[in-house]
Amino acid sequence: MPRPDLPPALAAKLKTLPTAPGCYLMRNDRQQVIYVGKAVNLRSRVRSYFQDQKQHTAKTRRLVADITDLEWVVTDTELEALILENELIKRYRPQYNIRLKDDKQYPYIKVHWQEDFPKISVVRRMLPDGARYYGPFTSGYAVRQTLEALRRVFPYLDCKRQITGQDARPCLYFHIKRCAGPCIGAVNREEYREIIDGLCRFLEGKTEEALSELNGRMILAAERLQFERAAMYRDQIRAAERIVERQKVVSGKQEDEDVIAFAQDKGNACMQVFFIRRGRLIGRESFMLEGVEEDENGELLASFLKQFYAEAAYLPPQVLLPGDLAEHAIIEQWLRSKRGAKVTLRIPKRGDKKALVNMAAENARSALTAMQAEWEADAHRHTEAVANLQAALDLPNPPARIECFDISTLQGTNTVGSMVVFVRGAPRKSDYRRFKVRSVTQTGQPDDYASMREVLRRRYRRAVEEQESGPGKRLDPTWKILPDLLIVDGGKGQLNIAVEVLKELDLFEVVPVVGLAKQEELLFLPGRTDPVRLARNSPEMYLVQRIRDEAHRFAVTYQRNLRGKAMTQSRLEEVPGVGMKRRQALLKHFGSIDAIRNAEIDEIAAVPGMTRQVAKRVKEML
C-alpha cells in the first residue's frame, strides 16, 4: 500500500523519474539529506519505497515516513553510480545510511618518496603527489607507536631541514640513532633512500626482504672493517626481528589478503579487518558503524567495503568475508578498477580461511563489547555529573541541555561570540552557533559586556520571536529549544548582562542562568552574594570545565579565522558594489590602495566598469 500522505510535489517528482542508472537523495521537512542510494533503474528503485510498505523493514518504513522531497543524479553506468553514492554519503552523512561512526579522516603513514630525501609523516588525507601511503589506521597513537618502533630499524627524517649534506651539526635524533644523518652527509641520497625503501617493504609485509637487505649490509660493513656500522645494522636486525615475532603466521602461502568480519548489537556494529601480507598477520583495525538494523547484514558488509576501500592505501587481490553481500558483482568490479588488477571477494566455507574469518568475528565481538562498556561508563559519568550539578545549583530540573557563551576579541577588533551546547553531558556540535558581533567594530577598548549582551539577545530573540520565512531562508527549529541551564563565561558582570537580557525577553523565570568565573571556577547565581564552589575533581566540576573550555575553543578558533581573513583581505572588498573585476581594474589603474584613497571621485569614476555612485562609496570607505 503506497504512503497515503504523499506531498503533491513529491508525487509529481516520482512520476518523472528516469529509467537510467544513478543516485537518489531523500530529504526531510528541514531539507536535510536523510538517505542516499543508487540504482540501475532509478524509477523502479525509488518508487519501490512508496509501494507495499508491509514488505519493508521497520527502518525503511521510518525513512519513508520522513521523506518530503527527492532529487537524483543520472550516471552513465552502475559503477559510476556506486562511486558517486560513496561520495554523497561521505559529504552528507545521512541518518538512515549505514556509515562509519566517526566522521573524522583516519590517519595514514606518508612516505614522501617524491623527495630526494624522503621524510616520514602522519597525515589524514591521501593526495596524488607521488608519495607512498599506508593505512588507514583507526588510532593516531597506534600509528606513532608503530613508527617509533620502526625508527629503531630504519632511522628516518621527520624534520623540516633543507638537506644539503653540509650542515655543521646534526640534531639529537642522529646521536640516539633515530636518524641516519643525511643533513651532515653521514649517508648520501642513494643510501638514505635504501633505508626508506626497507621501511616501505616492512610496512607492506615484505619483512623477509627487509631483513635480508639489512643482513647483507651488516656482512658488507664487517668485511670492510666498518665494525661500528656493522654493529648498528646488527642492532637494527634485532629490533626488526622483535617486531616480526609479534606478527602471527596464519598461512603457509605467501599471499596478501584482507579478512573482514563484524559483530552488531543495539544499532551499532563493529567491523574487524585483519591485514595479511605474505602469509603474516601484520595488523588489524576495528571500525565502528552506526545506523544498523539487525536484518541488514548484506547491506552492512557492502556499505563498509565501499567506505573503507574508498580510502584504503592498498587493496589486496583477495578479501575474505563472513557471508554474501548486496551488490557483490558491482563492488568486485569497482575494487578491480581501483586496484588495476583482479580482486576476489571470497566467502570461505571451511578450512584455515574460514577459521581466520571466525577469529576476526570473535575479535569484532570483543571490541564491540569493550566499546559498549566504555560508552555505558561515559553515560553513567555524564548522568552523575548532571545530577550533581542540579543539586549544587538547586535547579528545578536536571540540566540535560546546557548552553554556554563566550566572547573572543583582539583589542576590540573581529569580536565574535560562541554558543556551545551539551546534551546529557556530551557535546552536540550540530547545535553549536557562532556570532560575528556587530556593535563592536572599531579598534579600541574591547567591551565584553556589550558583546555578550548582543550575542545573548540575538540567540534568545530567535527563541521567542517567529522566524522569517521565504525564498532562500530555511527555518531552524534549534533556536526554539531553550536550555535547562545557561552558562556565561565570566563573573558577576557577565551574569548581570545575561539576567538583563533574559528579563527583557521574559525568559528569566524559564531559563536558569549562572556566571562561571575563570580563575577559581566559581559559579555565580542571580540574587546570591556567595558563589557556588564545586568539589574539585568531581564529575560536575569536570563537566563545567569541559563546557567552558569548549566554548572558549570555539570562539577563539572563529576569531582567529576572521583575523587571518582580514589580514589578507583588501579594504576594497568591504565596499558594496565593488566586486573582483572592479577591484582588479582599480588596482591596475592606480597601482595601490593609497593612490585610490588620494584620487578624486571623478578619477575613480573614470576607471572602466566604475560608476560615479560606486566611486563615491569607494572614497567614503577608504
pLDDT tens string 65-76: 899 999 999 998
Cα–Cα distance between 405 and 456 in angstroms, integer?
Answer: 8
Q: What is the average per-residue pLDDT within 502-523?
A: 88
Crossing angle of helices 351-393 and 539-567, rounded to 10°: 100
Question: What is the mean predicted confidence (pLDDT) over 234-255?
Answer: 65
Tell me how many degrees the CA angle 321-107-310 measures, rounded to the nearest 5.
45
CATH at 305:
3.30.420
Query: Read out DSSP for 499-525?
Result: HHHHHHTT-TTTS-EEEE-TTT-EEE-
**Do 519 and 562 fall within a single domain?**
yes
On whether the CB atoms of residues 612 and 601 are closer than 8 A, the answer is: yes
Average pLDDT of the chain is 83
Same domain, 608 and 534: no
As a whole number, mean pLDDT of residues 479-486 equals 91
Let me know if residue 378 belongs to a domain: no
Does residue 24 lie in a domain region? Answer: yes
Same domain, 407 and 549: yes
Regarding whether 142 and 240 lie in a shared domain, the answer is yes
pLDDT of 471 over the 60 cut: no
Return the closest-CA partner of residue 97 out of 225, 239, 222, 269.
269
In sequence order, the β-bridge partners of residue 284 are 274
Helix (H, G, I), strand (E, B) or coil at 127: coil
| 551 plus 428 within the same structural domain | yes
Q: Is 102 domain-assigned?
A: no
pLDDT (mean) for 91-109: 78
* Predicted confidence (pLDDT) per residue in 390-420, tens digit: 999 989 889 999 999 998 877 666 788 899 9
String of b and e for 89-128 (b: at least 16 CB within 10 Å)? bbebebbbbbbbeeeeebbbbbbbbeeebbbbebeeebee
The pLDDT, as a whole number, for residue 117 is 92
Q: Residue 459: in which H helix or E strand, if any?
A: helix 448-464
Q: Are residues 136 and 226 in the same domain?
A: yes
Q: What angle do CA 350, 351, 352 make, to 5 degrees?
A: 130
Lowest-confidence region among 30-39, 196-205, 337-346, 601-610: 196-205
Q: Is the dihedral of CA 452, 457, 458, 462 positive or negative?
A: positive
Q: Specify whether 418 is located in the same domain as 556.
A: yes
| Nearest CA-CA partner of 258 in 145, 336, 346 | 346
Shared domain check, 180 and 90: no
In 128-279, alpha helices (H)? 140-151, 172-175, 189-203, 207-223, 227-245
Looking at residue 244, its pLDDT comes to 58
pLDDT, tens digit, for every residue of 266-297? Answer: 777 889 998 888 777 777 888 888 777 765 66
Give me the residue label for grid cell 580482486: 343
Classify residue 389: in a domain, yes or no.
Answer: no
Predicted local distance difference test score (pLDDT) of residue 205: 74
What total number of domains does the chain contain?
Answer: 5
Q: What are the beta bridge partners of residue 100?
A: 289
Instruction: Enter the C-alpha cell of residue 43.
Output: 524509477
Which of 97, 122, 146 marks a domain boundary? 97
CATH number at residue 65: 3.40.1440.10
Q: Please check whether residues 127 and 209 belong to one and the same domain.
A: yes
> Is the pLDDT reported for residue 102 higher than 70?
no
Q: Which amino acid is at 446?
A: P
Beta-carbon-side half-sphere exposure of residue 573 (alpha carbons within 13 Å): 7
Residues 584 and 562 grouped into a single domain: no
Q: Length of the chain in residues, anyone?
A: 622
In CATH, what number is assigned to the domain containing residue 555? 3.30.420.340
Has residue 201 been placed in a domain? yes
**pLDDT digit string, tens, across residues 516-575:** 987 677 899 998 888 898 888 788 888 898 899 999 999 888 877 776 655 445 567 777
The Cα 467–Cα 30 span in angstroms is 14
For residues 611 and 25, what is the distance between their CA atoms, to the nearest angstrom? 45
How many alpha carbons fall within 13 Å on the CB side of residue 440?
26
Query: Does pLDDT of 326 surpass 80?
Result: no
pLDDT > 80? residue 245: no
What type of residue sits at position 229?
R
Handedness of CA 510, 382, 539, 428 (dihedral sign): negative
Provide the angle, in degrees to the nearest 10, between the axes of the packed helices 328-339 and 78-92.
90
1 band by pLDDT with thresholds 50, 70 and 90: very low
Whether residue 382 lies inside any domain: the answer is: no
Q: To 5 degrees, how large is the angle CA 108–CA 112–CA 118?
A: 130
- CATH number at 585 reads 1.10.150.20
pLDDT of residue 443: 46
601: pLDDT confidence band, cut at 50, 70 and 90?
confident
Give the per-residue pLDDT at 473: 56
- With beta carbons less than 8 A apart as the criterion, state whether 132 and 113 touch: yes
Residue where one domain finishes, among candidates 49, 76, 97: 97
pLDDT, position 295: 58
Mean pLDDT of 35-55: 87
CA proximity to 543, closest of 372, 383, 373: 383
Residue range of the domain that includes 599:
571-621
| Rounded-to-integer distance, Cα 404 and Cα 452, Å | 11
pLDDT exceeds 50 at position 426: yes
Domain end point (choices 73, 97, 121): 97
Residue 113, domain member (yes or no): yes
Residue 132 and residue 38 share a domain: no
Contact 500, 472 (CB under 8 A): no
Give the model's pLDDT for residue 512.
93
d(CA 127, CA 133): 9
Q: What is the rounded distance in angstroms from the CA atom of residue 285 to the CA atom of residue 287?
A: 7
In 3D space, the residue among 314, 323, 307, 331 whose CA is nearest the CA of residue 98 turns out to be 307
Residues 281 and 219 in one domain: no
pLDDT at 228: 78
Q: Across residues 342-370, what is the average pLDDT?
A: 89
**SS3 assignment, position 249:** strand
For the residues 36-48, what does the mean pLDDT come to? 91
Q: Which three cell numbers stand for residue 227?
A: 665494525
- Does residue 384 form part of some domain? no
